[in-house]
Chains A and B, each alone.
Chain A
Amino acid sequence: MTAPLLEVTGLTTTFGTGGKRASAVRGLDFTLEPGKVLGIVGESGSGKSVAMMSMLQLLAPSAKVTGSAIYKGRDLITMGPRDIRKIRGKEIGCIFQDPLSAFNPVKTIGHQIVEAILLHDSKISKRAATEHATSLLADVAIPQPGERLGQYPHEFSGGMRQRAMIAMALANGPNLLIADEPTTALDVTVQAQILDLLRKLTEERGIATILITHDLGVVAGMADEIMVMYAGRVVERGSAEAIFYDTRHPYTRGLIAAMPKLDGPGEILRAIEGTPPSIWTRPPGCSFAPRCSFAIEACRTTEPGLRRVGETETACMRAEELDKGMPA
């Protein structure tokens, strides 16, 4: 086992002012080795994006972040503003969900990529930076990269924009890429192209990736390890294979059951009943208990921690009983 690139322990993020605070992320632990892909799956509001933004200190001052995120031996959480700025965009690249709003609408794509390069490399000439930007656009398979550099974001199609976004994230040769729902705003065919591209580029360059999504299908083909988050905590974690074929947690099972199947006869889509709890009114005990068809009395009073059951680590007290044979 190689030394981890990123080691997160007890990451907790709370929001609010004064006495009333609510936690969006509650004690997140994980490690990421160089070159590996970690998929974080969860519904809206499960805390997956907030956790990543906490690590890069991108949240508003009203958010309080505790715990640690050791990147190459330095803690990102307690780092000063000057140091974290050198990490952002240089060591850790970010890809955002909506590539249209993530670009400055009044500057050309080329201007923005060149700016990203110049920000972290004061010695490079503008000409060299422009050449680098052109080759980056070529790397993400944008035709006529030279002309494209001079265009504005609105002149790009959705898929092109996301490609340009990836090019920008890769501009400074990061070691870690955080992709926050990179394909949510795109249609399905483009989604597949973007994921292919992302996989190819990160593999070629040995970049570790954290892929945040609410779509299990997205992580299935890409991730080495998958974490399933619910209400600010990890409820299940394991290799991609284990999550799909030997899952224990009722929530993960529900997510998998909710995926439309392309084989076999058509059937009505299964959904998980109810909605996730608000961070202000989280129930005691297991957060998923109110929506869980396997919940017993004990689930509503004590919150289980992660423990290894079979192939995955699961935070469900009935994990042993819920074997593969039981209906999801």
Chain B
Amino acid sequence: MTDGADIHPTARKPGAWRAGWARLPLTGQLGVMILLFWAVTVVTVQFWPLAEPLDMVGRRLQPPSGDHWLGTDALGRDVLSRTLHGAVYTIPIAFAVVLSAVTIGSTFGALAGFFGGWVDAVIMRAADVTLSFPPILLAMTVAATLGPGLQNAAIAMVIVWWPIYARLMRAQVLEVRTREHVEAAVAGGAGRMRVLTVHVLPLCWTPTLINATMDFGQVALLAASLSFIGLGAAPPTPEWGSMISEGAAKFYSWWIAFGPGMAILSIVLAASFVGDALRDIFDKRSVE
């Protein structure tokens, strides 16, 4: 360690971002770029020089051409435009679902792990019951009960997803709360909530962060799946799942499903690339 006199601890060293970027593996960099592309698309797609996604702009079922790069669908709408506009639905939903699942699941998991006893028993049994259903089946059931629509599909997905984060956070809290600095904090007179929020939780986020990044793609996929079977977005919304569903009906016009299919693929892959990269950076043990 160098002499600590002139090191200001909170100041980031210049070039920290660039150094962090260089540490990412190639796949991680690719993933970040893909996710950034979709994020920018969500915000700016309405200003792009594209055909209106709901307008019938050409002849129906045209294969890809100079005018319509990804062809046209059964109603003569531009598939490229619809695919890019689809991001506006899927990505915010996936983000909101992951965020809600992390918030709800982590809160319950932290309480279960920290307080133990009947709190633990009640929360974790609820999580076990939820996890005992195949996720898509449970999501279908909930979505069908609430009625079709993107919002209900999102609620269904949060219900399916929170137990994963509850378990993750509980395991982490169980490990951290036995550490000596926690005991030291208690010996210093800290109360239970302070111990939990100040001395336990800040050390528990890494696995959740990694898992949430990876799940982002999975949630996007599940959202599309629900729309595919008609429980998510309703036509004519340019949602990827329902677009693929239309494409599946016109099997020989492969381009209809190609656009949204590749969009989903890119997001699932990018999310798992970034998640992997984050794990390599944060969890030193798994690298060896």
Chain A contact residues, CB within 8 Å of chain B:
56, 58, 85-90, 93-94, 96, 98, 101-108, 115-116, 119-120, 144, 147-148, 150-152, 155, 157, 168
Shortest CB distance A213–B (Å)? 17
Interface magnitude class on chain B: 20 to 34
Query: What does DSSP make chain B's interface, helix, strand, loop or mixed?
Result: helix
Listed from nearest, the 10 A-B pairs whose CB atoms lie closest are A89-B189, A89-B188, A101-B180, A88-B189, A94-B187, A102-B184, A150-B9, A106-B202, A104-B181, A85-B189
For this complex, 6 residue pairs linking A to B, each with C-beta atoms less than 8 Å apart, are A88-B189, A96-B187, A104-B202, A108-B9, A144-B4, A148-B4
Q: Bits for B203-227, please: 1 = Cβ < 8 Å to A, else 0.
A: 1000000000000000000000000
The reply to whether the CB of B121 lies closer than 8 angstroms to some CB of chain A is no
Question: Across the interface, do A85 and B1 meet the contact criterion of CB distance under 8 Å?
Answer: no
When distances are taken between beta carbons in the complex, the residues of chain A under 8 Å from B5 are 144, 147
When distances are taken between beta carbons in the complex, the residues of chain A under 8 Å from B1 are 155, 157
Q: How many A-B residue pairs have CB under 8 A?
A: 78
Closest to B201 in A: A106
Closest to A102 in B: B184
Q: Bound complex: CA of A108 vs CA of B8, how far in Å?
A: 12
Q: Bound complex: CA of A245 vs CA of B40, how far in Å?
A: 81
The reply to whether the CB of B234 lies closer than 8 angstroms to some CB of chain A is no
When distances are taken between beta carbons in the complex, the residues of chain B under 8 Å from A85 are 189-191
Q: Bound complex: CA of A94 vs CA of B219, how far in Å?
A: 48
Q: Bound complex: CA of A233 vs CA of B6, how far in Å?
A: 51
Q: Bits for B123-151, please: 1 = Cβ < 8 Å to A, else 0.
A: 00000000000000000000000000000
- Known contacts A58-B186, A85-B189; is A105 also within 8 Å of B203 by CB? yes
The reply to whether the CB of B59 lies closer than 8 angstroms to some CB of chain A is no
When distances are taken between beta carbons in the complex, the residues of chain A under 8 Å from B181 are 101-105
Closest to B205 in A: A106
When distances are taken between beta carbons in the complex, the residues of chain A under 8 Å from B7 are 147, 151
Chain B contact residues, CB within 8 Å of chain A:
1, 4-10, 179-181, 183-191, 194, 198-199, 202-203
- What 15 additional pairs, Cβ within 8 angstroms, besides A88-B188, A106-B203? A56-B187, A86-B189, A88-B186, A88-B187, A93-B188, A94-B188, A101-B179, A101-B181, A102-B184, A104-B202, A119-B190, A120-B189, A147-B4, A155-B1, A168-B188
Shortest CB distance B207–A (Å)? 15
When distances are taken between beta carbons in the complex, the residues of chain B under 8 Å from A105 are 181, 203
When distances are taken between beta carbons in the complex, the residues of chain A under 8 Å from B198 are 104, 107, 115
Q: Bound complex: CA of A155 vs CA of B8, how far in Å?
A: 12
Question: Across the interface, do A155 and B9 meet the contact criterion of CB distance under 8 Å?
Answer: yes
Q: Bound complex: CA of A44 vs CA of B202, how far in Å?
A: 32
When distances are taken between beta carbons in the complex, the residues of chain A under 8 Å from B8 are 147, 150
Shortest CB distance B191–A (Å)? 6
Shortest CB distance A152–B (Å)? 7
Shortest CB distance B94–A (Å)? 29
When distances are taken between beta carbons in the complex, the residues of chain B under 8 Å from A116 are 188-189
Cross-chain contact of B10 among A103, A144, A150 (Cβ < 8 A):
A150
